[in-house]
Amino acid sequence: MSSTRVLLLGVLLDGPLHGYEVRRKLELWGADSWANVAYGSIYHGLSKMADEGLLEIIESGKGGKTVYGITQAGRDHFYFLLGEYWCDVKPIVDPFQVAVTFMDRMSEGRLLALMHERTQQLTATVGMMARARGGKQGFGAPRHVDESLDMIRSMLQVQLDWLEQAIPRVKDNDLP
Amino acid sequence: MSSTRVLLLGVLLDGPLHGYEVRRKLELWGADSWANVAYGSIYHGLSKMADEGLLEIIESGKGGKTVYGITQAGRDHFYFLLGEYWCDVKPIVDPFQVAVTFMDRMSEGRLLALMHERTQQLTATVGMMARARGGKQGFGAPRHVDESLDMIRSMLQVQLDWLEQAIPRVKDNDLP
DNA sequence: GATGACATATGCAAATTTGTATACAAGTTT
DNA sequence: AAACTTGTATACAAATTTGCATATGTCATC
């Protein structure tokens, strides 16, 4: 199961919002770099949870915006899910590892070229994230959302470190 | 988009297999700890890609097993996707960061309890992964799949390191 | 006041994923 | 050998996600 529901419920804890405001808040938090919420899913998620009684429709804009608020059942469910997310070690989904899995399917030349290319991409991304740090508070984002971004940055650093030691190994035919 | 397609195509590179064999191979590679392939999706993915000409049905078992092989179009598509996975820095989806995002929604007591609980869970998981390292080669898994598991272990270590420095900060009211 | 460029805001069909039900073979216990 | 557990193997309905199509508002500029 994805994290869409917790995110939607969590965003609504402080008061009713309509779909687009939810989206903005998630963007502000940088959720797109550590969660997987396609913005199209927001509207489905909201209306589904309203059906289930976790949310209620505050203002049904016929043709316009629909404002959703969280119900007590919704709050309860949120705290239940939150507890799970804290306790359970769920798998971290890293698309790069799919690439690594098939590193033996390419010629050494192509592999090394791609490894260098990725090193550059990663360095740029990590640098950008470091600079972006703290820039969101001005727009009302809580201070601790930066903690998530720091962790993501460290995880990208793990990829960088791996590349750094793997490149010489590939050259020495120690890998794959 | 998820990584189901590359994984299925990649698993079939070496020769035709039926659905359950694909599943076993992915399990052997430890794919469930860094990818998100529900085993139910395998059958859909295979038959869909067969429709699209990326795979071909080698042996259509009416009522029994269906064996799929990769076509040239499938190989081409695989290498195209693989290039993308190497170059593009796609978001790492980490469910724990959802938990961190809402750390300000709990009492300090409960938060600290959950942080300790997670520290323990993580320590256990990391230990298990360290011990499991290398144990799969005996069953025909390529040596470099361990590289993925190492990276995942390091990423879990990032969570541990974060917790270690965050716990005192919470106690000092420096967080959230 | 027309034009264009953006930001705001939602909905939906098509594609995908999930969880579970099903079936049968093989082994093993009683 | 009947009654079980376990492993093998697939399919499917229901739920979810995705990418895109569709409006509408607004602000500047010519």
Q: Which residues of A touch B118 (CB under 8 A)?
A: 86-87, 89
Q: Tell which residue, A155, A127, A88, has the closest CA to residue B159.
A: A155
Residue nearest to nucleotide D8 (CA to C1'): B20
Residues of A in contact with B95 (CB under 8 A): 3, 85, 90, 92
**Percentage, residues of chain A above pLDDT 90:** 87
Query: Tokens at residue A145, please?
Result: 């959302």
Percentage, residues of chain A above pLDDT 70 = 98
The predicted structure's pLDDT at residue A172: 96
The residue of chain B with its CA nearest to that of A36 is B93
Average pLDDT over residues B111-121: 97
Distance B1 CA to D23 C1' (A): 27
The yes or no reply on domain A4-87 and CATH 1.10.3720.10 is: no
pLDDT digits (tens, 9 = 90+) for B6-55: 999 999 999 999 999 999 999 999 999 999 999 999 999 999 999 999 99
Q: Which residue of B has its CA nearest to A107?
A: B79
Instruction: Say which nucleotide is closest to residue A66, CA to C1' distance.
Output: C10
Q: What is the full DSSP assignment across chain B?
A: --SHHHHHHHHHTTS-EEHHHHHHHHHHTTGGGTS---HHHHHHHHHHHHHTTSEEEEEE-SSS-EEEEE-HHHHHHHHHHHHHHHH--PPPB-HHHHHHHTGGGS-HHHHHHHHHHHHHHHHHHHHHHHHHTTTTGGGT--TTHHHHHHHHHHHHHHHHHHHHHHHHHHHTT---
Helix H or strand E encompassing A70: strand A66-70
pLDDT in tens, B61-84: 666 789 999 999 999 999 999 999
pLDDT of residue B59: 86
Q: Is A47 exposed, middle or buried (0-12, 13-18, 19+ CB in 10 A)?
A: middle
CA–CA distance, A57 with A17 (Å, rounded to integer):
10
Q: Any idea which of A94-108, A126-140, B35-49, B116-130 has the lowest mean pLDDT?
A: A126-140
CA B18 / C1′ D4 distance in Å = 29
CB nearest A101 (choices: B10, B114, B166): B10
B87 near A CB under 8 A: yes
| Chain A / chain B CB contacts < 8 angstroms | 202
Where are the domains positioned within chain A? Answer: 4-87, 95-171
Q: Fill in the amino acid letter for A43.
A: Y
Q: φ, ψ for residue A61 (rounded to 5)? A: -80, 105
Give per-residue pLDDT as tens, A27-44: 999 999 999 999 999 999
Nearest Cα of chain A lies from the Cα of B57 at a distance, in angstroms, of: 23
Give residue A137's pLDDT: 83
Q: Are A22 and A50 in contact (CB under 8 A)?
A: no
Name residues 109-128 of chain B within 8 A of A (Cβ). Answer: 114-115, 117-118, 121-122, 125
Tens of pLDDT, residues A143-174: 999 999 999 999 999 999 999 999 999 999 99
